[in-house]
Structure 1
Amino acid sequence: MFMVRIFQPTPILPNSAIELDDNAFNHIVRVLRMKQGESITLFDGSNTVTPATISQINKKSLIVETANSVVENRESSLNIHLGQVLSRGEKMEFTIQKSVELGVNSITPLLSERCGVKLDTDRLDKKVQQWQKIAQSACEQCGRNIIPTINPIEKLDDWCANLDDYLKLTLHPRAKHGINQLNLSNSNIALLIGPEGGLTEAEITMTIQHQFIEILLGPRVLRTETVALSAITALQVKFGDLG
């Protein structure tokens, strides 16, 4: 039976009566129209889950009784850090949502020369907050109990220069081999996905200088949001927990 999963940003005390936050109240009471006595599952990002029962529904508050918390690890053995150049419209939201479902651990939105998104600093900061909520919702849906981090937006060259502990991968149609030919000795993977117009020659040279390995997904040209999800899936099938 499907169990409603709710993320709470503060530590959840087992065997206690706790008041859920406003987001949980709106979702449980106003959207799902759940009633007193019904069961939900809570998680707080600590890789545990806590069964709970709705005990009180007031006009603006919701109280639940929690049971014992249990560890429930659904994380991949791969630590994938996705560097995604900003894409337009809902494409970025789609990429974040689906990459979280596929097991990415962190995402850094990037600015490149051919990035088609032009927003001021305040709007970019609000976008990051919005994307973090999308990551949270994706975890509620897919069963992950650790929320991936959406990092502040960075310039492409700054991000590429600070990945010393990662195996660095990027997609390019001129690459000689694909993911199946990789010899993976490092579970920390930084995956760079460029913009819809591709990286410039100067940016490609820069990634090579920072020891990025170029890989090929296949004979077809994929859209930026398709590339990210295809590459993550291939990595998880070959080295992670999909199969």
Structure 2
Amino acid sequence: MPRFHVDTLLAAPGEITLPPGAARHVQVLRLQPGDALTLFDGSGPEWQAEVTAMGRSEVRVNLIAAVQPQRELARAVTLAVVMPANDRMDFLVEKATELGAAALQPLVAERSVLRLAGERADKKRSHWQGVAIAAAEQSGRTVPLRVEPVMQLPAWLAALPDAADDEWRGLLSPHAAQPLAPFPQQRALFLSGPEGGLSDAEEDAARARGFAAISLGPRILRADTAPLAVLSWLALA
């Protein structure tokens, strides 16, 4: 069954006009009145719906019933990632959404290849949020991954509040001896470096903010592989 995200609140059963983005998807698929589809607005539930009218500029659907599927990870996981170069960030956002991450914080560090700021950073964030929404449509998630504004690593660490009792913080480091192991906290924040890794000073600054350095094994993983390995482990733990 076709499944689409809508950027407007779905509040109650009844007929609505689809916003332009979702309407275009319906038109491209050439759905007809009477065809079934699933809609979600990112707040949690998803709606079973039926096309009632198709026009060149307007698509109307009837919202029939809301359901609350359980497809999220048991923990709320945020990935703080020094952005990899080229198209690897798109891949990372897509797969992190599929694997259940709640949020992704793009960062710039000393050894960053991709450096974004100002309007360019805002445009990239908007693009990545679109990638996350598309991945949520495909994977069945009802709450797409949230992409935060791009920040410099030192500023982000300085603004980070002290870790609460229900949050665990992990620093993915090739220098760490302690492997990733089960933890009881219901929220998790993982910091992952760029190609070339974080500098010693950056790792020290992260430890000072409550991050425990952890190893993902003897091999050096790419900047877009390491955080996804953690998510895969959490999804199966």
Same fold (TM over 0.5): yes
Q: What code does the residue aligned with 1:94 have?
A: F
- Does residue 109 in structure 1 map to residue 106 in structure 2? yes
Give distance in 2, aligned partners of 1:15 and 1:167. 40
Q: Residues 87-115 of structure 1: CA distance to partner in whole angstroms, max 9, x if unpaired? A: 11210011011011111111110010111
| Contact 2:117/2:150 (<8 A) preserved | no
Q: What code does the residue aligned with 1:38 have?
A: D
2:222 aligned residue: 223
1:128-207 aligned within 5 A: 128-161=125-158, 162-163=160-161, 164-165=163-164, 166-180=167-181, 182=182, 184-207=183-206
The alignment partner of 2:33 has SS state of: coil
* Root-mean-square deviation (Å): 1.4
- Out of 224-233 and 166-175, give the one that drifted further: 166-175
Change (3 A) 1:155 1:120: closer
2:23 aligned residue: 25
- Does residue 51 in structure 1 map to residue 51 in structure 2? no
TM-score, normalised via structure 1 length? 0.91
Q: Residues 4-59 of structure 1: CA distance to partner in whole angstroms, max 9, x if unpaired? A: 111112121433111111111211212x2222221100111221111111111111
| Contact 1:179/1:234 (<8 A) preserved | no
TM-score, normalised via structure 2 length? 0.93
Q: What code does the residue aligned with 1:124 have?
A: A
The alignment partner of 2:224 has SS state of: helix
Deviation of the 1:126 alpha carbon:
0.6
| Contact 1:80/1:189 (<8 A) preserved | yes
Give distance in 2, aligned partners of 1:56 and 1:123. 39
| Contact 1:83/1:190 (<8 A) preserved | yes
Q: Residues 128-181 of structure 1: CA distance to partner in whole angstroms, max 9, x if unpaired? A: 11111111111111111112211111111232341423311011222222123x
1:8-23 aligned within 5 A: 8-23=6-21
- Give the fraction of aligned pairs with identical amino acids, expressed as a percent: 31
Deviation of the 1:124 alpha carbon:
0.6
Instruction: Structure 1: state its 5+ residue gaps.
Output: 239-243
Give distance in 1, aligned partners of 2:201 and 2:11. 52
1:241 aligned residue: none
| Contact 2:47/2:63 (<8 A) preserved | yes
| Contact 1:73/1:145 (<8 A) preserved | no
2:82 aligned residue: 85
- Out of 7-16 and 48-57, give the one that drifted further: 7-16
